[in-house]
């Protein structure tokens, strides 16, 4: 075996070990999420509730409340982490997050518009309108980014179009919620970001979109690696730039749109997670994307657990906790670590 082959084998083995360690972190977060809350449940009782429920109070707490909450947290964390890594890769902007495509504001505007125009009042109704709004907004951003360009939108036009569309939709949403008290209440709760109070049906509704988005993300990874070398080099390697960007935007839209529609605005997950994953994976998106997904899931669940224990007998919404710990940590990360070039 040549020295190069030995080196590549060592790198691959190290990355697999990191992947296993991240899976362990997610498992730990799941255990804490299921057992810790306003009513603590011993691990043995939690296992009994999952394996052979008998209708006890602990069974009801675990199966009806915490299990759906934990499952949605895993799904949203993976979706936002992967979407953030994709968005930073496509825009070559270390400060980009999925909201740059207008996903968050598109979902918010569609939800409040559905309340006023159609009288929507159920959580599942909000989710479907929010997802539709996220999809429409991101398609609009992608279309605007293509105006006047060749070979698809560029990182600069995507960022500018996303910023403009997000600002416009935010202004419309702010104007609409002032006209309707119910819309204001729903928007205020949704804007805080939460995985509490969502039943298992919510997770099942968004799961297909997240699965398709993850498949598109992994398909997009080799093309994104080529784009990182420059568009001219990517074309010389046979990459279709417009198709690669289109698949990436579709993946970001499905992943972040589903997560945002179900959980609200979860700040900092899509922004900070790729910065945590990149020192472990390097710039190879074939490893960066799964690392980001696992870190996102663990981060979201740990933040949710913190929100349950810091303000008993109530709790802080996970979006609030993420903002409180994410902002200073991101500042520390920028100041203490030499950032990896995108």
Q: Residue 133 sits in which domain range?
A: 11-336
| pLDDT at residue number 342 | 54
Quote the DSSP letter at residue 99.
G
Residue 52: inside a domain, yes or no?
A: yes
Residue 232: inside a domain, yes or no?
A: yes
Residue 330: inside a domain, yes or no?
A: yes
Residue 6: inside a domain, yes or no?
A: no
Q: Closest Cα partner for 287 from 18, 2, 7? A: 18
Q: What are the Cα distances from residue 2, in Å, to 8, 10, 27, 84, 156?
A: 10, 12, 38, 37, 43
Give the model's confidence band at 148: pLDDT under 50 very low, under 70 low, under 90 confident, else very high. Answer: low
Residue 4: inside a domain, yes or no?
A: no
* Per-residue pLDDT tens digits for 180-238: 777 787 777 778 888 988 878 888 989 999 999 999 999 999 999 998 888 788 888 88
Query: 112-116, 213-217, 299-303: which range is least confident on average?
Result: 112-116
Residue 188: inside a domain, yes or no?
A: yes
pTM, two decimals, is 0.90
Residue 109: inside a domain, yes or no?
A: yes
Number of domains in the chain: 1
CB-based contact 72:201 (threshold 8 Å) = no
Residue 341: inside a domain, yes or no?
A: no
CATH number at residue 193: 1.10.3470.10
Q: What are the Cα distances from residue 331, in Å, to 11, 161, 162?
A: 30, 27, 24
Q: Closest Cα partner for 86 from 294, 293, 243, 280? A: 293
| pLDDT at residue number 314 | 78
Q: What is the mean pLDDT of residues 267-293?
A: 91
CB-based contact 271:97 (threshold 8 Å) = yes
């Amino acid at each position: 075996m040549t020295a190069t082959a030995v080196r590549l084998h060592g790198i691959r083995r190290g990355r697999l070990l990191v992947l296993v360690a991240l899976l362990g972190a997610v498992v730990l977060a799941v255990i804490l999420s299921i057992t810790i809350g306003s009513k603590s449940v011993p691990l043995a009782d939690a296992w009994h509730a999952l394996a052979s429920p008998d209708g006890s109070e602990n069974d009801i707490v675990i199966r009806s409340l915490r299990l759906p909450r934990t499952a949605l947290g895993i799904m949203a964390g993976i979706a936002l982490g992967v979407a953030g890594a994709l968005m930073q890769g496509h825009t070559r902007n270390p400060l980009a997050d999925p909201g740059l495509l207008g996903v968050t504001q598109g979902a918010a505007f569609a939800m409040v518009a559905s309340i006023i125009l159609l009288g929507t009042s159920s959580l599942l109704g909000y989710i479907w309108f929010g997802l539709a709004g996220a999809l429409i907004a991101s398609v609009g951003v992608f279309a605007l980014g293509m105006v006047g360009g060749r070979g698809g939108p560029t990182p600069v036009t995507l960022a500018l179009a996303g910023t403009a569309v997000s600002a416009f939709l935010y202004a419309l949403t702010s104007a609409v919620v002032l006209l309707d008290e119910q819309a204001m209440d729903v928007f205020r709760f949704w804007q805080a970001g939460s995985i509490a109070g969502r039943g298992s049906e919510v997770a099942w509704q968004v799961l297909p979109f997240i699965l398709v988005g993850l498949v598109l993300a992994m398909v997009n990874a080799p093309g994104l690696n080529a784009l990182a070398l420059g568009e001219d080099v990517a074309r010389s390697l046979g990459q279709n730039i417009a198709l690669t960007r289109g698949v990436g935007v579709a993946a970001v839209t499905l992943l972040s749109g589903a997560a945002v529609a179900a959980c609200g605005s979860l700040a900092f997950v899509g922004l900070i997670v790729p910065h945590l994953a990149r020192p472990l994976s390097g710039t190879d998106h074939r490893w960066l994307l799964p690392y980001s997904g696992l870190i996102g899931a663990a981060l979201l669940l740990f933040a949710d657990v913190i929100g349950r224990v810091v303000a008993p007998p109530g709790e802080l919404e996970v979006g609030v906790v993420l903002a409180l710990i994410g902002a200073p940590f991101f500042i520390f990360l920028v100041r203490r670590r030499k950032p990896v070039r995108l």
